[in-house]
Amino acid sequence: MISVEHLSKRYGRHTAVDDVSFRCEPGTVTGFLGPNGAGKSTTLRMICGLTPPTAGRATVGGRPYRQLPNPGREIGVLLDAAAQHAGRSGREALTVAAYTMGVDRREVAAKLDLVGLNGAATRRRVRAYSLGMRQRLGLALALLGDPRVLILDEPANGLDPEGIFWMRGLLRDFADRGGTVLLSSHLLREVEAVADRLVVIGGGRIVAQGDKTELLAGGGTLVRARDTAALRRALDAAGIAATDGTDGLLVRADGEAVGQAAATAGVVLTELRPAGGGLEQLFLTLTTTAAEPTEEAGK
Ligand SMILES: Nc1ncnc2c1ncn2[C@@H]1O[C@H](COP(=O)(O)OP(=O)(O)OP(=O)(O)O)[C@@H](O)[C@H]1O
């Protein structure tokens, strides 16, 4: 479990992270979302003991990172895939790490295999790796000590669509086996596909956090059917209030409840999705606000 309590970080007069608190539980993937410069990396660096907080504290499994006797065995970290020893081969990098952590050397091949780095690629020097290959190697390093917790900063950067799909599966599986995952991204859609919970940060402060489905459904559900009148009757029978949206009916219920009501009444739906007014709107507003000063400066 990761616990972040009232973390703040100031650089001179600039507050990069302002009183941030959240928890990541075993068995879950928490998406840490925010536009560029929101304070995600600074928060992750504080959790991993790389940046001292100005105030507050963060613990992993009840202890600050720096007090963990063999951190790699408890928490796998991938903060900057580009910053790896360029002169070593992927296999050497992992072998050195295995030695440092006291991990059986046979794990090196197993983890390289797990992240899809095989054969010649593992013997090439890291400087010749693409960013996607570095992400895979970084993930192999993070997983090497079989930790229960993973902290990843923008892990999908440089991965192609197949790689992103693969990584989602790997993180989902890690969490489903009881692991705790915290991953940051500035892309809502990327995180939405894998996270159970979301923590949204903007201007250094938490602006929203909670269960993904609930946050995304904050703006209601949009539903359309071939026969709108029949859909209205079905929703009415299920006690779900509906109003006219621009391209369908807007309801204050989640997709499952709406789908069930339609199925019970034998109504064919042509569309069923979050209306997008909740988190999506908030995230868009945050991203736009973050971009504004640059536009102003350019005038
Ligand atoms: N070492 C530092 N010295 C001064 N300011 C810093 C330092 N590190 C970060 N900042 C500032 O703190 C704020 C938060 O930066 P941070 O890198 O944590 O954001 P982020 O959400 O990870 O953004 P991105 O998605 O662009 O990586 C930014 O305004 C950044 O300029």
Confidence of residue 75 (pLDDT cuts 50, 70, 90): very high
pLDDT band at 272 (very low <50, low <70, confident <90, very high): very high
Give nearest CA residue, ligand 1 atom 16: 39
Whether the predicted pLDDT of 155 surpasses 70: yes
User: What is the whole-number distance in angstroms between the Cα of residue 157 and the centre of ligand 1?
Assistant: 17
Confidence grade of residue 80 (pLDDT, cut at 50, 70, 90): confident
What pLDDT does residue 246 have? 65
Is the model more confident about 193 or about 246? 193
pLDDT above 80: residue 14: yes
Tell me the average pLDDT across 280-294: 62
For atom 25 of ligand 1, which residue has the closest CA?
Answer: 36
Quote the percentage of the chain above a pLDDT of 70: 92
Q: Ligand 1: does its nearest atom lie under 6 Å from the Cβ of 11?
A: yes
pLDDT digits (tens, 9 = 90+) for 184-228: 988 888 888 899 999 999 899 998 898 888 787 777 788 999 999
Domains and CATH numbers, the chain: 2-214 (3.40.50.300), 220-275 (no CATH)
pLDDT at position 123 is 80
pTM: 0.81
> Over the chain, what HEC string results?
CEEEEEEEEEECCEEEEEEEEEEECCCEEEEEECCCCCCHHHHHHHHCCCCCCCEEEEEECCECHHHCCCHHHHEEEECCCCCCCCCCEHHHHHHHHHHHHCCCCHHHHHHHHHCCCCCHHHHCEHHHCCHHHHHHHHHHHHHCCCCCEEEEECCCCCCCHHHHHHHHHHHHHHHHCCCEEEEEECCHHHHHCCCCEEEEEECCEEEEEEEHHHHHHHHCEEEEECCHHHHHHHHHHCCCCEEECCCCEEECCCHHHHHHHHHHHCCCEEEEEECCCCHHHHHHHHHHHHHHHHHHHHC
What does the pLDDT read at residue 289? 54
Among protein residues, the one whose CA lies closest to atom 29 of ligand 1: 37
Cα–ligand 1 centroid distance for 37 (angstroms): 5
Q: Is 151 close to ligand 1, i.e. is its CB under 6 Å away? A: no
* pLDDT at 299 > cutoff 60: no
Q: How confident is the model at residue 66 (pLDDT cuts 50, 70, 90)?
A: very high
Task: Tell whether ligand 1 has an atom less than 6 A from the beta carbon of residue 293.
Answer: no
Ligand 1, from 41, 151, 206: best to mutate by most atoms within 8 Å of Cβ? 41
pLDDT mean across residues, the chain:
87
Give yes or no for residue 42 CB within 6 A of ligand 1.
yes
Does the pLDDT at position 151 exceed 90? yes
For residue 296, pLDDT over 50 is answered with: no
Mean pLDDT on 175-189: 92
Looking at ligand 1, which residue's alpha carbon is closest to its atom 1?
11
Task: Please work out whether the CB of residue 36 comes within 6 Å of at least one atom of ligand 1.
Answer: yes
Q: Is the CB of 76 under 6 A from ligand 1?
A: no
Q: Is the CB of 38 under 6 A from ligand 1?
A: yes
